[in-house]
Amino acid sequence: MKATTNYILSIMLLSIGFSACQPAPAPEPIVETVEKVVEKVVEKVVEKVVTATPDPEQSAPGQGDNRVLSVMTEEISPESQAFYRSVAAAFEASHPGVAVILDFPPKFGESLPIRIAAGAAPDIATMQLEAQLYYADQGLIEPADWWFDVHGDDVVENASVPYNGKQWAIPYALTYEMWWYRQDLFEKAGIARPDTIENYLAAAKYFNNPAKNFYGIGIAAGPSEWTAWHYEILLWANGGFVFDTELKPAVTSTESREALAYLKELYKYSPPESATWEWWDSITAFLTEQVAMSMYGGRLLVHTARDNPELAPATRVMMQPMIDTRAHPISRKSHVIMASSPNKDLAKEFIELMMTDEFLVPLLHTVPVHLTPPLKSMQRSEAFMSHPLIQSHLEDMEMVYDAARYGRSLGWESPNHPPNPYAGALNNSSILVEMIQKILLKDEDINSATEWAQAEMIKMIKDVDAGSVQ
């Protein structure tokens, strides 16, 4: 129990912000949007303030005469919430005496460990690979082999990663970060779609025109994890890794330093304000016609089609640049069943219902091309492929599918790596971001910046192993 408590505290602190030297601040109250379903009637959405010590008598599922199934998700867009509501309504209709609580916390990464620490964990939660490894290590999530025994042969390559001999999560969507380019400008200039790092650099330089507030490429260098993704992609493509196969930090390798040199060269052709960019800024810069190339998943195309429809036909996808190999960041959006759930049977049935075409396809269509099916049978099904935006970008959709073969993530950097239980801690820290900012924004020496990051990562690993980030 002591190890579990230390773990919960560690995750709470990591979620609030990694600090090697200073104590974490006390968590502030979190306002969560909760939809309550009582006696098959959906009540109005209410605001509930949850502190670090919510009342388990009010929050714990499964109490009272009727059974209550609680679902907590990081998907907070109106369209995604509509998906969960529709599944909940259908599930309740077929399960008399069962009520479903849908929880859409604005700060999911903070809310879930707080709920667990208070003994009020949901039955089902969304969770990506890096977090799954932590929770699996602590025995806080239920193995998902029951689902893979039935559907495993239909699961898309790289959609799920086993850990300690078990599957832990059921994937409901996959996203791949791609580069997007202005096909109209490239064709006018007689430049082919870039494929190698040399092509990327040449195109970025050619289209760069600061005098007209137009830049060759968008490279995020702000304070978020998104900045680190730009480095990790080039690192993997260059044959390097953040951690070696023994899970020791490897950011001082030759491959890492060369990748940072490539990133620094590309950054020369990025807008000045990209020094503060976070995730959404990469989309905004492209659809407002400020850059010729920008990275994001298919959401970039969706937003361009919505906000600048005339640009959508010329918004085309590129594979990540080839250096020594090719690598594409993959995000595995998944559901897990919490080990403490008193309703594991209902949770399994609910997940099975969510994964049917009737419900999952509409969810994927909320952000077509960006959210892709985790099941082979669904990838090219008429139900999924019929979306107008997919139909207008069929070649791009196929390239996104092809990216699955090169899928990488910090939680599992290569088939030769074990799943990495330190990945979540590194993602929640600022180590890689600060290393990159030292190089791009402060013009510090690459060797000294990587040596600093290597030392910080070693400290972080010791803290994680000790059950504390202090």
**Does 5 have pLDDT greater than 60?**
no
Average pLDDT, rounded, for the chain: 87
CA 317 from centroid of its chain's CA atoms: 20
| Residue 49: its H or E element | strand 46-50
- Provide the residue type at 137 as one letter: D
**Does 461 have pLDDT greater than 70?**
yes
How does pLDDT run across 205-247, given as a tens digit for each residue? 999 999 999 999 999 999 999 999 999 999 999 999 999 999 9
Banded pLDDT at 62 (limits 50, 70, 90): very low
pLDDT of residue 468: 61
DSSP H helix total and E strand total for the chain: 21, 12
pLDDT of residue 268: 98
Calculate the alpha carbon distances from 136 to 101, 243, 268 in Å. 24, 20, 42
| Of 309 and 44, the one with more pLDDT | 309
DSSP-derived letter for residue 141 is B
Give all strands (DSSP E) within 293-358, no chain letters.
293-296, 315-318, 328-337
CA dist 297 and 372 (Å) reads 10
How does pLDDT run across 132-164, given as a tens digit for each residue? 988 998 999 999 999 999 999 999 988 999 999
Min mean pLDDT across 145-149, 196-200, 242-246, 461-465 is at 461-465
CATH of 2-173+335-392, one of 3.30.540.10, 3.30.160.100, 3.40.640.10, 3.40.190.10: 3.40.190.10
Residues 323, 239 contacting (CB under 8 angstroms): yes
pLDDT of residue 157: 86
CATH architecture of the region 176-329+407-465? 3-Layer(aba) Sandwich (3.40)
Domains 2-173+335-392 and 176-329+407-465 equal at CATH topology level: yes
Tokens 């380019």 correspond to what residue? 181
How does pLDDT run across 99-118, given as a tens digit for each residue? 999 999 998 988 999 999 99
Summarize the confidence of residues 169-193 as an average pLDDT: 97
How does pLDDT run across 349-379, given as a tens digit for each residue? 999 999 999 999 999 999 999 999 999 999 9
Banded pLDDT at 466 (limits 50, 70, 90): confident
Task: Map out the domains of the chain as residue ranges.
Answer: 2-173+335-392, 176-329+407-465
Calculate the alpha carbon distances from 217 to 100, 206, 293 in Å. 46, 10, 5
Structure tokens belonging to residue 337:
């069943």
How does pLDDT run across 386-399, given as a tens digit for each residue? 999 999 999 999 99
- Provide the residue type at 448 as one letter: S
How does pLDDT run across 313-340, given as a tens digit for each residue? 999 999 999 999 999 999 999 999 999 9
Tokens 């000294």 correspond to what residue? 448
